[in-house]
Amino acid sequence: MELEFTGEIIYWRGPSPYHYVPVPAEESAAIKAVASQVTYGWGVIPVLARIDGTVWETSLFPRDGRYLVPVKAAVRRAEELDLGDTVTVRLVLGAAR
């Protein structure tokens, strides 16, 4: 499954502080519908993510009925992104390069 959406980069100070882009409700529902086919445990879903010209492998994390896309520091540096920026994210669920 492939998805594309736009969202704001947020910072979550949870057990693993990180920058994320929350997946919108509609796309999160579509992911949840196929989650059992692509998860490797704990509801975490492997994806190939892309913002502009940067592609990376990561995992979506479930949070409050939606999913979060982790945005690594290397991605933020490469695309000159900061907290609060709005980005378009492309995901391929269950994919690896």
Domain boundaries, the chain: 2-93
**Which residues, in sequence order, are CB contacts of 31 under 8 Å at separation 6+?**
1, 3, 23, 45, 60, 67, 93
- The pLDDT, as a whole number, for residue 74 is 93
Position 93: which residue type?
A: L
Give yes or no for residue 10 having a pLDDT over 70: yes
For the segment 36-91, what is each residue's pLDDT rounded down to a tens digit? 888 776 768 999 999 999 999 999 988 888 999 999 999 999 999 999 999 999 99
pLDDT of res. 12: 82
2-93 folds as Elongation Factor Tu (Ef-tu); domain 3 (2.40.30)
**What pTM, to 2 d.p., does this model score?**
0.88
